[in-house]
Amino acid sequence: MKQHYSLCLASNNEHKRREISQMLPSNFSLLTLKEAGWSGILREDHDTYEGNATQKAITVAEALRINCLSDDSGLSVEALDGAPGVFSARYAGLHATDQQNLDKLIEAMKSIQDRRAKYVAVLCLVWEGKPYLFKGEVTGLLALEPRGTEGFGYDPLFIPDGFSSTFAEMSPSQKNSLSHRSKALVELVRFLENTFS
């Protein structure tokens, strides 16, 4: 019988928790911040995904004395010099909704022909006080208008290379086989299986 492990995800985003949980080994369960008893504010004041992910995971791991997984991810648009980038979740303001961020990006891209973009995800696992980083990227194009109702964030605009559908038009399993977060998760899962097999 494999030992069971609990991880705290440094987020209360249920979409994110579901996406990550589906890929973790079966003997790992993922708690949201709320479930783990965290009610503080998590700062993200670094200018890199790696810095933000590490800051969040270490903060929660030290405060709750728990092994913690965090992610920092975003969309980098070539014609916007990499924006929104690490500011993807707050592109339209500190407490912006996904829809407000999406609307701002649509407006920013209105007259731009070059629609190349990439999604980037960095996961930080703090296990027994030590941080480990895992990174994934997926390149693609931005659609002219939002399409689809699955996913979250900028998924209704993002068309991965080699496909004609946006992430929001794909089933969760299809998106999970392609996404930036899934690529980082593949690296994380490989690490977990090698470490705890």
- Tens-of-pLDDT digits for all 197 residues of the chain? 678 888 999 998 888 888 888 888 888 999 999 999 988 888 888 999 999 999 999 999 999 999 999 999 999 999 999 999 999 999 999 889 999 999 999 999 999 999 999 999 999 999 999 999 999 999 999 999 999 998 889 999 999 999 999 999 999 889 888 999 889 999 999 999 888 76
- pLDDT, residue 2, reads 77
CATH node for 5-196: 3.90.950.10
Q: What is the C-alpha to C-alpha distance for residues 36 and 17, in angstroms, rounded to an integer?
A: 13
Q: Kindly report the number of other CB atoms within 10 A of residue 77's CB atom.
A: 24
Enclosing H/E stretch for 79: none
Cβ(167)–Cβ(104) under 8 Å?
no
- pLDDT, residue 1, reads 67
DSSP at 150: S
Q: Where do the structural domains in the chain lie, given as residue ranges?
A: 5-196
Selection from 195, 190, 185 nearest residue 17 by Cα = 185
Cβ(74)–Cβ(49) under 8 Å?
yes
Q: What is the C-alpha to C-alpha distance for residues 123 and 125, in angstroms, rounded to an integer?
A: 7
- pTM for this prediction: 0.89
- pLDDT, residue 197, reads 62
Strands 116-127 and 68-77: antiparallel
CB-facing half-sphere around the CA of 187: CA atoms within 13 A: 16
Selection from 114, 120, 147, 153 nearest residue 16 by Cα = 153
Q: Which stretches of 75-171 are DSSP H helices?
A: 98-108
Beta partners for residue 139, in sequence order: 118
Active site residues: 72
- pLDDT, residue 151, reads 80
- pLDDT, residue 3, reads 87
Strand order of the β-sheet with 5-9 is 28-31, 5-9, 68-77, 116-127, 130-142, 158-160
All residues at 6 or more sequence positions from 26 whose CB lies less than 8 Å from its CB, including other chains? 2
Q: What is the C-alpha to C-alpha distance for residues 53 and 89, in angstroms, rounded to an integer?
A: 13
